[in-house]
Amino acid sequence: MDLELRHLRIVRAVAEAGSVTKAATHLGLAQPALTAQLKRIERVLGGTLFDRDHNGARLTPLGELVLSRARVLLPAAQELQEEAVRLANTGGEIPRYRLGATNSPILGGLVDRLATAWPSTPVTTSTSWSAKEIATMVVMGRIDFALIGACGESPPPVEGPVAWLTVGMDPVFVLLNEDHPLTGRPEVALGELAGERWAVAPGDGCFGDCFAAACAREGFTPRTIYETDVATCMHLAKVGRAAVLCQATFQPAVGLRLVPLAGAPLRWRQLLGWHPEAATARVIPAIAEHAKAAHADAVRRSARYAAWIADNPQFGTVP
């Protein structure tokens, strides 16, 4: 006998009821029949799942393991069944849009725009610091659209059946404590920050190498580089412990100032990716337009970036 979903339902029912008798009533089975089923399941799994006595049924360590897996697999199987029914009943229409992103300034705006344009189509999101992981999720069919960043003109993170479109090209700015002597300047040269310690959110692209190369062109080697989460980056900048490298669309918190780097020595491409053979590929023109509109909104929300881009029109949202 192979383990089946119905067996996992039995284990879950007994665990939740606390006794075989109560579980049998809940499942609409005779108690002897359920007991026999449970014994067969235990033989398949190689051990006892419950310690049973007059006080009821208590999970053994093996039972705890099986129950933990059942609580993942059973809802997933139910979701699969429901989605398959929805897909069949809509004549093959896409039941939802699944987005994946890496610290993208576009994600929130795109979710809002899709929910407005197609209110009956659920939108789900996944995030990761790894652009490669997000792109691989597209290849595997786990998400429909990827929103990632790529340093300068570097290629997308993985080879494979993923099509890419550039949504926007943004400069990298620096985030400083509001009392820093350079925050009042319209832009600063990277070399003027040679004495700073630096902080940046993690990633798996070439940004670290590009930053080191940009510093070398300015004649210095960067001091300590803290690679950490966004909240810690913000804290280090606010207390004056680090200059934070960030996307120009970033919205600084109170006590921080966003400062452009002269000549834009570091650049960040906003990319939209999708599987060209997936059913969702048919809506990519609309998704791309919404993504570009979301990027344009992000640019406008950053007053420093919006002012800077007026003199640097080669940056911003791709027409």
Arithmetic mean of pLDDT, 228-251: 95
Position 90 scores a pLDDT of: 45
Return the SS3 of 252: coil
Tens-place pLDDT, residues 246-284: 999 999 999 999 999 999 999 999 999 999 988 889 999
Shared-domain flag, residues 48 and 155:
no
Position 214 scores a pLDDT of: 95
Shared-domain flag, residues 152 and 166:
yes
Shared-domain flag, residues 62 and 102:
no
Position 316 scores a pLDDT of: 96
Name the percent of the chain lying above pLDDT 90.
72
In whole angstroms, what is the distance from residue 212 CA to residue 292 CA? 30
Residue 220 has pLDDT above 70, yes or no: yes
Shared-domain flag, residues 227 and 195:
yes
Shared-domain flag, residues 191 and 78:
no
Shared-domain flag, residues 201 and 275:
yes
- What is the rounded radius of gyration, in angstroms, for the C-alpha atoms of the chain? 27
Position 102 scores a pLDDT of: 94
Tens-place pLDDT, residues 39-97: 999 898 999 999 988 888 999 999 999 999 999 999 988 888 766 665 554 445 556 89
Shared-domain flag, residues 17 and 108:
no
Grade residue 1 by pLDDT with cuts at 50, 70 and 90: low
Shared-domain flag, residues 62 and 143:
no
Residue 144 has pLDDT above 50, yes or no: yes
Domain boundary among 60, 89, 118: 89
Residue 193 has pLDDT above 80, yes or no: yes
Shared-domain flag, residues 134 and 164:
yes
Shared-domain flag, residues 197 and 285:
yes
In whole angstroms, what is the distance from residue 304 CA to residue 183 CA? 11
Contact 135, 117 (CB under 8 A): no
Shared-domain flag, residues 62 and 139:
no
Position 96 scores a pLDDT of: 82
Domain boundary among 89, 106, 125: 89
Tens-place pLDDT, residues 169-190: 999 999 999 999 999 899 999 9
What are the residues facing 108 on neighbouring strands? Answer: none
Structure tokens at 11: 């284990």
DSSP-derived letter for residue 181 is T
Domain that holds residue 76: 5-89
Grade residue 192 by pLDDT with cuts at 50, 70 and 90: very high
Residue 10 has pLDDT above 80, yes or no: yes
CATH of the domain at 309: 3.40.190.290
Number of domains in the chain: 2
Return the SS3 of 65: helix
Residue 95 Ramachandran class (φ > 0 left, ψ -120 to 50 alpha, else beta) = alpha
What are the residues facing 297 on neighbouring strands? Answer: none
Arithmetic mean of pLDDT, 1-11: 88
Arithmetic mean of pLDDT, 292-309: 95
